[in-house]
Each structure stands twice: as C-alpha cells, then as structure tokens.
A and B are shown apart, each in its own frame.
Chain A
Amino acid sequence: MKKKITICLIIFTISSFFFIDGKDNQVHGFSNQVVQHGATGDDVIELQARLQYLGFYNGDIDGVFGWGTYWALRNFQYEFGMEIDGLAGQEVKQKLEKASEFDKTYVHEQIQKGKKFTHYGGMDKEKQTEPSPNTTNQQDSQDGDAGQQSKQQGNNQQDQNQSEATEEDLEPTAVNMPQGFSQNDIQIMANAVYGEARGEPFEGQVAVASVILNRVESSTFPNTVSGVIFEPRAFTAVSDGQIWLTPNDNAKRAVLDAINGWDPTGEALYYFNPDTATSDWIWSRQQIKRIGKHIFCI
C-alpha cells in the first residue's frame, strides 16, 4: 500500500515538473521584475541568452548583469526604437520574447555542466558548446542528487534529468566584486577577520576589516591586503595560526561591507583588546572608540 502511494506521489511530482516546465517555456520565462545593471540570477541569464540570440551580446552567459550586458541591452533598445535607459522593463522583455528564442533547457544544461557555450540564433547548438563533457567536482556533486532520484524511480523517465535541469533556480556562474578586489582577497580578509574577531558583534568584525583596509591606504603600512595581514606581529591571529580557521558567512559579509565603504572605526589604524594588551605603546595612541571588546585608535 505504502509503495503505491509513494509511486503515485512520485508520478505526480514528475508530471507537475512537466507542467510547470511547459508553462515556463511557452508563456513567460522572465519574472515581472525590472532588471538593472548589477543584478544577478535567472532573469539575467535569460536576458543575456536572448540578447546573444539576436547578436547584441557577445560575452559569457554568466547570470551577472555587467557592463557587457548593459551596452548590449542599450544597443537593443536603440535598434528597436525604445527609450535607451539600460533597464530591462516590461516593454523590453516583451520585445525580446517576440524577437528571440530562449532554449531554457539547453542554456541551463550548459551552465549546470560548467561548459563554455554560446546561444546565437540560427546556429547549430551542437557547435556552440564544448564537445566533450568536462566533468568537474562541483558538477559531480550536483548531479549526484539527480542520479539518486532517478534510480529510485526506475528508468522509466528518460527526460527526467532534462526537466529537472530546467526546474531548479540556477546559480549564476559569476559574481559581482567590488572594484579592485577579487574573491580571493575577500577570502583572505575574511580569514583574518574571523581569526581576530569571531566572538565580536557584526560591527566589530566590519571594524577589524576596516582597519586592514585603512592600513592598506595608509602610507606607513604595506600597500596590499596580504602585505598588511601578514606583516610580522601585526595580528595575533596570524602569529598563532588562527587565521587558518574556516571563516563563516558573517565574516565574509563583514569584509564585503568594509570594502563597500562601511567603516565604523572612524579611520582607525590600530586596535587592541584592553584586557590582554601588553604594550604600553599601544595605550599611548589616541583612542577613537570601543566596539565590542576592542578599542580602536589611530
């Protein structure tokens, strides 16, 4: 009895996949949000793919609305006689949908497999993607789930994998980064912040990240993030190896905030924990404020 119910359920879910899937492809893929420069996500993937289909966009379909996408969109707006504002609103989306095709299954499959691909109109899709499937570790773990499910359901559904590929919201393959920083810079700063201030409130973590950045700016310290962090005796977390703990998301968010301009310290260059500070010299610095356990000073 139980088995029957589960089978029924499975069949139901599969059919619902198809139902949603079909609807998505035919009626409208875009959500009704206005997409603007800097956005990430599914809408952007579709926008890029459709612009590429029409030959306006030549960059990677990565799901991040960067400058390339922006100019492509503006050119499209110009060619189609619309107001040129670089925003993908309703009118743009409608015109795009009319003028182009979007093979969602194909695009999502390529993204999921981590292939380099294009989506130009009037060209054989086989030729627009890498021939050999390059299996990466990441994609293996993603496929692992799908594989297990299809085993449970037996091999009665061939299209199963495909429909599932289109169903999940895909992560863009790229990320926005503040000017002048890379993901690795942020990672290394997050490590330092986590090692130094993981017990501190969020603002205390942003503050430590700000001190690192203020030092990079300052003339009396090294001019790179790694130079500042690994300066001998600069941070206790570096000396005792706590910097190599894995930072949590909070630390990363704190670093990102600091890079984006939030500086709760008031341009401090030093900080210390008054309970454990051994140096007299550090007490002689002019203090700005106390955040959490740390006193910040210049």
Chain B
Amino acid sequence: MFRWTLITLLSIAVIGVSVWGYQEHQEKNAILIQAENSYQRSFHDLTYNLDLLHDKIGSTLAMNTREQLSPQLAEIWRLTSMAHNDVGQLPLTLLPFNKTEEFLQLMGDFSYRTAVRDLDKEPLSDDELDALESLYEASGDIEQELRKVQSMVLNDNLRWMDVQLALVNNDEQADNTIIDGFETVEKTVEGYSEGKLNASMMGTSSKKDGFSILGDKKISEEEAKKKMRSLLRIDEETELTVAPTGKGANVPLFSGSYKQDETSGYIDVTQNGGYPITLMINREVKESNKSLHEAMQNGKDYLSKLDFTTDLALVESNQYDNVGVFQFVPQYEDVWIYPDAIQIKVALDNGEVLGFVAKDYLENYHEREISEAELSEEEARDKVNPNLKIQEHHLAVIEDDMGEEVLTYVFLGTLNQDTYKIFINASDGSEVRVDKLKQAEMKY
C-alpha cells in the first residue's frame, strides 16, 4: 500500500516537473527568438541602408544640377546616421568594429557639411569630388562584404545569439562566421581610412595641439603631492594615494585620491607645469545656509587664487539641492572667451569649494589676438530675428561648427516665455549659433 502511494506521488511529481520544465523551456525559447529577431532586423536593416548609401553616393557623382545635389547629400547624411544606429543595436561592442563606425561618421559629417553649404556660391571642389569618389568605392566594398555575410547568415541559418555567446567565451571567436565577416569589413575600411580619405574629408582638423599653457617643465611626484594636499585641504597625516597616468592619456597627469570618514577627494594635476585640472571633494551637504550669490563670490575668489586668469565672467549658475555649480569664462577687455570655461562647485552649508574643472581652460588657453569687431553692435543687432526681444549683449570668442575660434556678438533675448542666446559673427554678421536656454524642469 505504502509502496503504491509513493509511486503514485512520485510519478505525479515527475510529470508535474516535466510539464513545468517544458513550459519554462518554451518560454525561454520564445524570448531567445525575440532577441534573435531584433538582432536580425538590425543586421538586415544595416545591409539595406549600406546598399542604399552606395547607390545614393553613386548618383551624386553623376549629378550636375545643384538643386538636386543638396537634397541628395542630405539623404546620404540620413542614411549614414541610420546605419550607425543599426550598428549600435548589434552585439558588436567587444568586436573591433570602430573603423567602420568612424567611417560612417566621417561620411555623415562630410555629407552634412556639403549639404548645408550654399553650393551655388561654393560648389564642390576637386578635392571633395575625389573624396566623394573614394567614398563611393569604399561604400561599395563595405556593401559587398556585408552582402557576403548576409547571404551566409541566410543560407546557413546563422544566429546572432551565437555571436554573442562566442564573444563571451572568447576562445571560440576563431570559427564564428559572422564575426569573421565583420572583421573583413573592418579591414576593408582600414585600408581606405588610412589613405587619402581622411585628409580631404575632415577639412581642417578641428583640434589644435592644445594644452600649450602647460609648458615643458615636469614636476616631481613629491611636488604634485604637496600641491594636491593643499588643494584637497588635507594635512600630512592623511593618506594620499598618487599614481601617474598611462599611455592612453592625452595629457600626462598625476591623480591623487584620499578617503577619510565620510569625505573623499580626488584630484588630477598635470605632470607638465603642475596645473590642477580636476578637483572633486565628495561629502554630504545637508543644508543650505549660504546664498548662491555668496557661494559664487567664494568660487570666484578661490579661482583667482589659483594660477588662472583673474578676470572672470559668470556664464551660468545653478543650485542643485544644497550645492551651487557655476561656470566662469575669462574676460579680456569685455570679450568673453567661451572656449576657456572653468566649472566650479561650492557647498552651500559652509561655502567651501567642493571641486572645479579647468580642463577646457588648460586645453584651449593661448595668447589671443582679438581683432576689433568689424560690425557695430547696432549692425549685428539687425541680424537677429526681429521677433526676439533683446535684453542683454556682450562680445565673445566662441568655437564654430568647424572648431575655429570666431569673434561674435552674443545677444540674450526672449521670445514669449523662452530665452535664447544668439551668437552673431562680428565680421560678417552670420548667425553662428542659436541656443535655447534651459528652463527649470518641473518635478514629476
């Protein structure tokens, strides 16, 4: 009797478990298929967009009328951005696929720049036509390689989920067809981007060498430590860990950090010249006793005691809970130098400085010869949209789309409830940039 009950119970249990297991399995499969499908969609979209891209570039080459050219280039720009988006949805992050992505971006930049340009006044130069031709060639090769991968995927029912697994278990990488295919694409692109493409397409390289203020004089780790202690406001007793940066850093730095009770600090000092570049002190700030205005004064005093320009203009001030964050830019004879911005954070409980970033300042600072504005303020004002009510203005140096520094008139104006910042080129009166300034956001 007992035996039979046991057997029945056990068999019921076994059946129950298998039904449950089967259902789980079904569910897992359904989810896997769904994930797989979304990968497949991105992949096939990618190949389709690259196909289209290749064709569009081809037809651009054959075009003669300018009225057609601009929309066509805009279309290319849209397609590169879509292709880029598709790449972002595939599990390729650990696969060296950067060159292809960079290439897409390059293509996008090029087509955007030429599309927005007035091609009647400034038609495509020979260099640009050459660039377009090599783009055509390159996109053709990419298209073909991807087509190969695609047909393999379709014929052999290859799954992207396997790519993901292969990438996780590094060793299997060698025999995954999709991965191999993408590596071939990458190599194809590499061949192009090292060639003439880069120089003619990027126009002027936007970043000058930068960090010219730092000079050649290296400081020792001991000197750096001393500087860090004074900036972090800690004494000799507190333990400070300092380490130099590795090869990848664009500027060699010493980084120091400490932790004591509830307060921790972090600081970067340049090895050349010993300038502080980032300071962060983290502690709980529970209340605000000081006004934002007082905090701003504190921040300004603090910066003027460091090795930075003393004449600073306030661009932005914001209170986040109990800290104030300010952005300053240097001022030379009433011209605000936007590229050399410094951010500073001040605690509102005791007004002490909790951090600053001088990276932009150190990177962009150089002796500038600021030419006289060719337009008068009145003339520049006429270039602003007449619907805007201009409230404030000043002269400023900013970087334009190409990364070149230009002298501009900055107008702060209002249109209905919104405030805008408009930058008008002081020599030719063109609108360099229009920013809508952010309003406070409602709490949800």
Contact = CB atoms under 8 A, between A and B. Distances in A.
A69 to B, nearest CB: 9
A97 B319 CA distance: 25
Interface stretch (A4-12, A158-166, A201-209): A201-209
A82 to B, nearest CB: 16
B3 interface: no
Interface in B229-255: 243, 245-251, 253, 255
B417 interface: yes
A66 interface: yes
Interface stretch (A18-26, A101-109, A117-125, A175-183): A175-183
Interface centre among A177, A231, A266, A285 (most CB of B within 10 A): A266
Q: Interface of chain B, helix or strand or loop or mixed? A: mixed
Contacts of A146: none
Contact of B93 (A59, A231, A262): A231
B19 interface: no
A268 interface: yes
Interface string A58-69: 110010101110
Contacts of B333: none
A227 interface: yes
B274 interface: no
Nearest to A292: B257
A34 B293 contact: yes
Contacts, number: 201
Range of interface residues on chain B? Answer: 35 or more
A71 B419 contact: yes
Contacts of B291: 31, 33-36, 39
A41 interface: yes
Q: Interface of chain A, helix or strand or loop or mixed? A: loop
B419 A36 contact: no
Interface residues of A, number: 73
B105 interface: yes
B320 A203 contact: no
B292 interface: yes
Nearest to A266: B249
A222 B85 CA distance: 6
Given A176-B318, A287-B247, 20 more contacts: A38-B316, A39-B291, A41-B288, A68-B439, A174-B440, A176-B319, A178-B438, A179-B437, A180-B438, A203-B266, A219-B106, A220-B98, A220-B102, A231-B93, A232-B92, A256-B320, A257-B280, A261-B360, A262-B278, A296-B248
